[in-house]
Chain A
Amino acid sequence: MTALLTAYARAMGIAVADGEGPAAPVLTLDFRHDLEGRPGAWHGGAIAGLLETAGYAALHTELAARGRDPLLKPINITVQYLSTGRTRASHARGRVVRLGRRNANIAVEAWQDDPSKPIASAVMNVLMVDAVD
């Protein structure tokens, strides 16, 4: 499942926690000082990177199930920070809300201990360009 992860995601330390089956995978990132913002809290950018990576993993899973392999280009991402990310592991999973031919809309949530209590959420729009043979 490493194909789900970019060089950036691997350098961050993001791992696929639960990537079996047709569902969008849960990605996990253990806390370390390299991901800290203000003392005792995750950096907002690191959380955004985890959310975005989980969004792409959800989209890849959905596209693979349909036998599609387009080039993906980010259009935008909006991140909502709901509570402070404490100094322990964070997890994230995306959901493809709408899969069109040219663009996809993806919702993502990140949590720490309890998936029903997200610490951040994101909405992403991604442009898909089918490879020309």
Chain B
Amino acid sequence: MNAFGGPFDSAMLSKWVLTRAHPGWLELRYRAHGDDWCELELPWRADLVGDERRPALASGPIMSLMDMAAGMAIWVTNGEFRPVATLDLRIDYIRPSRDRAPVFGRVTCYRQTRSAAFIRGSAHDGDAGDPVAEVSGVFMVLDPARMR
């Protein structure tokens, strides 16, 4: 099934994009969204640890979390489910996440042109005022009719 090109529906979208492929493997969960933002949860899992001395989530899955939250923020912002491609993504790791803690990623799409979407957001492990990472990036919004 390919639902690209359809209108945005958070329930449908979460069910379709978060249960399959890479987000499905990471078990990403939808938390909330607004007019121009989306928040997802990355549950803690032993096989996603990045340092054998500490049971905290690795930075790699946090990048996937923020990339996915960014894509969904772009979809809620333009109210349409068009495929996106990451062009540039920067993450600053402010501190490690707590042991065995899930990480929540909230990303805002603060500017959208015809083909580029600019995003920024932050990740935290329970207290949004004490983030573990900050992210910014640019995505290209693709034309579903031109996808191979």
Interface residues of A (CB under 8 A from B): 6-12, 33-41, 43-46, 48-49, 52-53, 73-81, 84
Contacts and interface: CB of A to CB of B under 8 A. Distances in A.
B83 interface: yes
Contacts of B52: 6-7
Contacts of B91: 76-78
A8 B48 contact: yes
Contacts of A12: 60
B78 interface: no
B88 A76 contact: no
Interface string B55-78: 000111101111110000000000
Given A45-B60, A48-B60, A79-B63, 4 more contacts: A38-B147, A41-B85, A48-B67, A77-B63
A34 B22 contact: yes
B85 A6 contact: no
Contacts, number: 116
B63 A48 contact: yes
Nearest to A84: B85
Contacts of A75: 92-93
Chain B interface size range: 35 or more
B89 A11 contact: no
Interface string B2-19: 101000000000000000
B85 A8 contact: no
Contacts of A7: 46-50, 52, 58
A44 B67 contact: yes
Which one of B2, B59, B88, B93 has the highest number of Cβ atoms from chain A below 10 Å of its Cβ?
B59
Nearest to A48: B63
Contacts of B47: 7-8, 10-11
Contact of B50 (A8, A36, A40, A41): A8
18 contacts: A7-B58, A8-B50, A8-B60, A33-B20, A33-B21, A36-B21, A37-B22, A38-B4, A39-B147, A43-B21, A45-B66, A49-B64, A73-B93, A74-B93, A75-B92, A75-B93, A79-B88, A81-B89
Contacts of B142: 38
B90 interface: yes
A53 B91 CA distance: 15
